[in-house]
Amino acid sequence: MKTRPTLAALTVAIGLVASAFAPRANACSNLDDLRAARTGAQVDAFAKFAGTIKAAQGQAASVQAVQGVPAANLMLFNPKHSIVGFWKFAFTAPDGVTGVDWGFQSWHSDGTEITNSGGQLPATGNFCTGVWEQHVGGGYHLNHWAIAWNLPGTDPSDLAGLLNIREVVSLDSSGNSMTGTFSYDFYSPDGTYQGHVGDGTVTGTRITP
């Protein structure tokens, strides 16, 4: 087996607090193995943040229903809208409940993107960047890279590796909600592929002036 990052470092990389894990734990695992160590505060923070996104999307769906737009068409691509702008987002594991990450994203007109991760400790770097493009059919594909550091005070408290985050999202007919999928793949500091970490769903709502 290839050398894998510590579970603590891997957890930091995907936006979960790593202090709940033993620094030398085996990371030959996926997101299912990371759920048990989340603290009550983390669960509560994610639930509150993701809940506001769900509520906003529910309100948008109600408006569309009143306007006579079938609910089944709510998430279809609308060429009048662009993903460029400021968003709040939530990543949820395949079980539909467990929070993976949450925060804010800015999608820029030049094809770049920046994320402020609420699940990532500022001490290990909670801002990371990516590039995006719109594919045929209207979906937006994001290629995002994060640098993963072990927590200060752990052994070793140094660079753990690189996390590649891929998103495929679509806008609803209002242009103010997005849904889609994400996937995580981990690389060693020298860029050697270490394996697939996990995947799940993305939800988000646009923040307007």
Q: Is residue 1 part of a domain?
A: no
Q: Is residue 78 part of a domain?
A: yes
> How confident is the model at residue 36, as a pLDDT?
45
Give the tens place of pLDDT for each residue, 142-164: 999 999 888 877 776 688 899 99
> How confident is the model at residue 39, as a pLDDT?
61
> How confident is the model at residue 63, as a pLDDT?
39
Give the tens place of pLDDT for each residue, 75-106: 334 446 899 999 999 999 999 989 999 999 99
Give the tens place of pLDDT for each residue, 115-151: 999 988 888 889 999 999 998 878 999 999 999 888 8
Range of the domain at 46: 7-207
Q: Is residue 43 part of a domain?
A: yes
> Is residue 69's pLDDT more than 50?
no
Number of domains into which the chain is organized: 1
Mean pLDDT, rounded, of the chain = 75
Lowest model confidence (mean pLDDT) among 6-15, 103-112, 192-201: 6-15
Q: Is residue 80 part of a domain?
A: yes
Q: Is residue 139 part of a domain?
A: yes
Band (pLDDT 50/70/90 cuts) for residue 43 is confident
How far is 87 from 129, CA to CA, in rounded Å?
14
Long-range contacts from 84-89, C-beta under 8 angstroms, 24+ separation: 84/108, 84/109, 85/206, 85/207, 85/208, 86/206, 86/207, 87/178, 87/204, 87/205, 87/206, 87/207, 88/49, 88/52, 88/53, 88/204, 88/205, 88/207, 89/53, 89/115, 89/178, 89/202, 89/203, 89/204
> How confident is the model at residue 200, as a pLDDT?
96
> How confident is the model at residue 38, as a pLDDT?
54
Between residues 85 and 47, the one the model is more confident about: 85
Q: Is residue 34 part of a domain?
A: yes
> Is residue 24's pLDDT more than 60?
no
Give the tens place of pLDDT for each residue, 49-58: 677 666 766 6
Band (pLDDT 50/70/90 cuts) for residue 28 is very low
Q: Is residue 2 part of a domain?
A: no
pTM for the model: 0.69
